[in-house]
Copies of this chain bind each other. A is one copy, B any other.
Amino acid sequence: VVNRSNGLLPKSEPMLIECIPNFSEGRDPATVDAIVAAIRDAGVTIVDHSADPDHHRMVVTFLGAPEAVAEAAFAGAREAVARIDLTRHRGAHPRMGAVDVIPLVPLGETPMSACVTLAHRLGERLARELALPVYYYEEAALRADRRDLARVRAGGFEALRGDQAAGPAPLEGERTPDAGPAAAHPTAGAVTVGARGPLIAYNILLDTGDVRIARQIAARVRERGGGLPGVKALGLYLESRGRAQVSINVTDPDRVSLAHVFARVRQEAARLGAGVAGSELVGALRVEDLLAIARDTLGLRDLDPRQMLDPRLTEGVSQHGDTETRR
C-alpha cells in the first residue's frame, strides 16, 4: 500500500488523486497566475502553489477525481506551453520541459493502477494536442530505465534539443519518447508524466553562499551516496538570496521523517563548517508526516493519529476511538 489512509477514510470513498505539476516559470507573476487559474477552472481543489525565482520553477498541488485531475493538468500544461520559452530559461533547478513533470499520487483507497492509467491517458493527450514528446516515469514507466525521473531528465532541455545550428535532433534510441513526436518541442521541450506514492519536496537553506558545500551535503544525505533511504538531494545556489540550498525529495516518508532529514543535513553541514538557516516545504504534507516530526524531535513515541483533535479529522473516529487504554 503506497498511501496510508491513517484509518480515517471509509472504504467507500470515491477515487481521489493528488497531482503536483511542476512548470518552468518562477518569476513572471502573470504566467504563474495564468497557469494556476487554468488548473483551478478545471474544477479541482488547489491545496498549495508556490513559485521560486531562483529555481525558476513553480509547483501546484491539487486534488480531485481522476477525470478532473487529468483535465486540470492538461489545462495547466497548455497554458505553460503557450507562455514559456525554454530557449531563454535559466534557473537553478534541472528541467527539460515548460511543463516539466506531472506526478499523479493515489490518495485514500485509490489504487496506484488508477494513476498509471490516468498518466498514460494524459500523456497521449499532451502528445496529440500539444505536440510534446512524453516520457512516463516511476510506476507509469514503460521501460525499466525510465523509472527514475532524474535519469529521464538528464541533460535537460538543452540535451533534448541538441545542437540547434544543425536543426532539431531526432529523439531516438535512449531518448525515444513513450508518446508524441520524435523531436523536442522547440520552446517547451518534453514532459514527464508519472504515477508514484507520496513524496515530500523539502528545501533546506544554508547560511553560506558556497554551493559546493550544498552539493557535498546533498551527495552525503542522498540514498545513492549511502545516505538516507529514499532521499534524493541536489545542491543549488539561490541567487536572489545569495545562499546555497539543499533541495530534497523524500520519496518514502513513512521510513524517513523530515526531522530525520533535517538533523542529518545539519550534521553534515556542521562537519563542513556551515549552518542551517531555515527550511521550506514545497507542496503538501500528510498529517502522518507531521506526527513523525513530533515523534522524532520530541521523543513522543506513542503519539497516535487518533489523538488529533481537529473535528474534520475526528469525524470518523467513533468507530476507532474505542482504543485500548494507553499506559
Give the B-binding residues of A (Cβ under 8 A).
6, 8-9, 13, 16, 18, 29, 32-33, 36, 40, 45-53, 58, 61-63, 107-108, 198, 258-259, 262, 276-281, 283-287, 290-291, 293-294, 297-304, 306-318, 321-323, 325-327
List the B side residues contacting A322 at CB < 8 Å.
36, 40, 46
- From B58, B297, B325, A29 is in contact (CB under 8 Å) with B325
| A313 engages B311 (CB within 8 Å) | no
**Residue in chain B with minimal CB distance to A108:** B311
| A-B pairs with lowest CB-CB distance, top 10 | A278-B299, A290-B290, A284-B309, A46-B321, A50-B326, A297-B297, A312-B312, A262-B298, A45-B318, A286-B309
Q: List 8 A-B contacts (CB under 8 A).
A: A8-B310, A16-B311, A45-B318, A46-B318, A51-B327, A262-B297, A281-B303, A297-B298
Measured in the bound complex, the distance between the Cα atoms of B99 and A57 in whole Å is: 58
Question: Closest CB-CB distance, A254 to chain B, in whole Å?
Answer: 14
List the B side residues contacting A301 at CB < 8 Å.
278, 280
| A317 engages B29 (CB within 8 Å) | no
| A307 engages B283 (CB within 8 Å) | yes
Measured in the bound complex, the distance between the Cα atoms of B278 and A280 in whole Å is: 27
Question: Closest CB-CB distance, A260 to chain B, in whole Å?
Answer: 10
Contact A279-B300, Cβ < 8 Å, known A47-B314, A48-B323: yes
Main secondary structure on chain A at its contact with chain B? mixed
| B307 engages A8 (CB within 8 Å) | no
- From B45, B280, B311, B318, A302 is in contact (CB under 8 Å) with B280
List the B side residues contacting A18 at CB < 8 Å.
309
Given contacts A16-B311, A280-B300, A280-B301, 20 further A-B contacts (CB under 8 A): A33-B325, A46-B318, A46-B322, A47-B306, A49-B325, A50-B326, A50-B327, A51-B326, A52-B327, A107-B311, A108-B311, A259-B297, A284-B309, A287-B287, A287-B308, A287-B310, A290-B290, A290-B308, A293-B294, A297-B298
| B307 engages A316 (CB within 8 Å) | no
Contact A63-B16, Cβ < 8 Å, known A51-B325, A301-B278, A325-B58: no
Question: Closest CB-CB distance, A202 to chain B, in whole Å?
Answer: 8
Measured in the bound complex, the distance between the Cα atoms of B45 and A201 in whole Å is: 35
Contact A49-B308, Cβ < 8 Å, known A298-B279, A299-B277, A300-B279: no
**Residue in chain B with minimal CB distance to A258:** B298
**Residue in chain B with minimal CB distance to A287:** B310
Question: Closest CB-CB distance, A33 to chain B, in whole Å?
Answer: 7
List the B side residues contacting A48 at CB < 8 Å.
304, 306-307, 321, 323, 326
